[in-house]
Amino acid sequence: MSKRLAGAAIVALVAMVLAGIVGYQPAAETQTNTGPGSGSDLARALLRAVIERGNEVSFKATQTIILWYPTGSSACITNVIHKAPNLTRTDYLPSATATSGYRVVISDGESTWHYEPSLGVVFHMPGTAPDRARRQKPGTGPGTVSAAGGTALALVEANYDISLVSTESLAGRRAHVIKLKPRHPGSPSRRIWVDTEFPFILRTEKYRPNGFMSSLSFYNHIEFSPEIDDSVFKLQVPPGVAIVTLPGGEDLVTLEELQKKAGFAVPVPEFVPAGYILEGGTLTRRGDVEVAHVRFTDGLNTISFFVAPPTPRADRRPGPPGIADQFDMVSLGRQVALDGARGRLADYQDAKLLRWQASGYEFTLIGEVDESLLLQMAESVDAPESRIPAKDPFGGSVIKFFYEFFWTGR
């Protein structure tokens, strides 16, 4: 990949994954109902229906998505077609407010195909289809190592106050407005509009821990239960367009299993923000370099922790170059002081990205929580001793991460 292609790929993919999941997010303030716990039973029932049966709803729709971040904002309009349970096509339409031109993203139930006409490239990500990922409920998969597990809804109920705000009209339909307010400081909040007939989210407002809105998505028009031919979900790759296969997704395993598979020590933070549990981890390979990815969740949000072991450059066998070989992510953000080390902290759309090196290892934390919590997590990592300088394989895993981060367990 050229530097231009790598940089463009990251920007495009991050924008795409954010846009792809904003239709599945809850949050924020303003309450119409009165009394503590008003409508909470109905709100929880609606949320459970969305989590358990949301993918069962086939539809065609036009959606508007607006994102706000520290350096500015962006917006886009998409045409979305979903055929239950696991076929989805999203066409991103060019507009004056869009950050890029036309692109199409197709989930065939097992893989994601992302066509960027402006780059002349199709990105293929095996095992990263959102519908496949959402079948893994936080706290119930093989990676669960905490008795605080249970269903996704159980974790959300433990960590968020769920309340019914009002009932409103939206896109020609009636919707219940649900607010999810975090019980622990430092987590984002959300508000969702759930259709009164189908377990489907019509609008989402997402708020940062400081209370500022970070994203808004809503359906301008939607048609439920339409006739949809499967051919819509087959990407026709034009002649001369390159297909680039990126790291695929794997099922989560326990930390003990991850250690055995990795063949190197995988330290984890001793401090974890209140409400979060260790969900499990995966191992990603780029060429001959393996990176451990450990994931924490509070049922609604995710914190990902990457561990790259020391790898002498001279020992590297030939393999596909990582994006970091072309695109130096460590230069992003500002320098921060950690306990015995220095790192870089950057805003990455809705998330914060913290990266540092210690004892030859390279560590990266990415999450939507307040940056102070990520710093505490970083300072609690006890890096194993090593004299070998670290290679920089994280960039090669960043695209796979963003698919997992924004799609799994929503």
What per-residue confidence (pLDDT) applies to 142? Answer: 24
* Ordered strands of the 201-207 beta sheet: 160-170, 173-182, 189-195, 201-207, 213-224, 59-69, 72-83, 87-93, 103-107, 111-116, 121-126, 242-245
What per-residue confidence (pLDDT) applies to 350? Answer: 72
Q: Which CATH superfamily is 249-406 part of? A: MucB/RseB, C-terminal domain (3.30.200.100)
Task: Give me the percent of the chain exceeding a pLDDT of 90.
Answer: 48
Better-predicted residue by pLDDT, 266 or 263:
266
Alpha-carbon torsion 381, 387, 389, 393, what sign? negative
Asked whether residue 138 carries a pLDDT value surpassing 90, the answer given is no
Look at the domain 3-243 and name its fold: outer membrane lipoprotein receptor (LolB), chain A (2.50.20)
Asked whether residue 1 carries a pLDDT value surpassing 70, the answer given is no
Ranges of beta strands (E only) in 301-340 are 302-308, 334-338
Asked whether residue 25 carries a pLDDT value surpassing 80, the answer given is no
Better-predicted residue by pLDDT, 77 or 99:
77
Burial of 318 (0-12, 13-18, 19+ CB in 10 A): exposed
Better-predicted residue by pLDDT, 317 or 369:
369
Question: CA angle, 253 as apex, 307 and 25 as ends, to 5°?
Answer: 85
Distance CA 297, CA 300 (A): 7
- Identify which of 119-133, 192-206, 231-245, 332-346 has the greatest average pLDDT: 192-206
Q: Name residue 184's amino acid.
A: H
What per-residue confidence (pLDDT) applies to 263? Answer: 85
Asked whether residue 386 carries a pLDDT value surpassing 70, the answer given is no
- Strand pairing report for 277-286 and 302-308: unpaired
Tens digits of residue pLDDT in 43-72: 999 999 998 899 899 999 999 999 887 778
What's the mean pLDDT in 302-316? 75
- Identify which of 95-109, 223-237, 304-318 has the greatest average pLDDT: 223-237
Structural element, H or E, at residue 204:
strand 201-207
Asked whether residue 132 carries a pLDDT value surpassing 50, the answer given is no
β-partners of residue 342 are 337
What's the mean pLDDT in 216-229? 95
- Residue ranges of domains in the chain: 3-243, 249-406
Cβ(283)–Cβ(262) below 8 Å: yes
What's the mean pLDDT in 395-402? 45
Asked whether residue 7 carries a pLDDT value surpassing 70, the answer given is no
Q: Reply yes or no: is the peptide bond before residue 85 cis, omega within 30 of 0.
A: yes
Distance CA 129, CA 134 (A): 9
- Identify which of 35-39, 52-56, 230-234 has the greatest average pLDDT: 230-234
Using only C-alpha atoms, the chain has a radius of gyration, in whole angstroms, of: 21
